Amino acid sequence: MYMTNEEWEQNNQDYLKESYEETGFTAGGYFTMSTPKTAAGKRAIPILPEVRKALEQERANQQELELVCEYEIDGISDFVFLNRFGQPQNPQTVTKTGMNPWVVAYNEAELEKAEKEKREPQLLPPFSCHNLRHTFCTRLCENETNLKIIQDIMGHRDISTTMEIYAEATKEAKAHSFEKLNGKLGISV
């Protein structure tokens, strides 16, 4: 998802409005933008306080570095998430230079720690920005029972997409569900 500073201001910092998506690169290696695949992709997503704080911190960091987006993609400019050159972040670059080096560093430390503690290491696999979307939705499903809310937040046109991909019941989620149900059925023995 891409967001411009104008959208940030218009949304009054309460919602992110996702109205277009990054579709990839042209043969010349340039970004292209397009509208979402379906009308369901145009949506307003509430911003969690932690996300608002991170966005405000990002804005402050960019102001301190005097980093300004002067890059334009298909008529859209003034993006919030920028690289050190003031250009919109590329999801592939974020994965390669941002997250995966972090995973490598964590795994190296975990290997040493596990060896000292004489146990099997708990290593992280490489992952992408899209993996983070799946993780977010999985956590949302664990905490939200209204599937229409999940469908709307994730931008799925059809509820079956939400059900098939994300509504997976974990052993822990099932146990928690039954803990909440305990004593509420009115069954007396």
- Pick from 87, 91, 92, 82: nearest CA to 61: 82
The first and second tokens of residue 186, run together, are 């009115």
Tokens of 91: 């999801």
Average pLDDT score, the chain: 77
- Give the CB-side neighbour count of residue 150, counting CA atoms within 13 A: 23
Segment holding 115, helix H or strand E? helix 100-117
Burial status of residue 107 (CB atoms within 10 A of its CB: 0-12, 13-18, 19 or more) = middle
132-181 pLDDT, tens digit each = 888 888 888 878 878 889 888 888 888 888 887 766 666 777 787 788 88
Q: How far apart are CA 70 and CA 82, in angstroms?
A: 10
pLDDT digits (tens, 9 = 90+) for 7-66: 656 555 566 655 555 545 555 566 777 677 777 777 777 888 888 888 888 888 888 999
- 8: its two tokens: 């940030």
DSSP-assigned letter for residue 16: E
Indicate yes or no: pTM above 0.85.
Answer: no
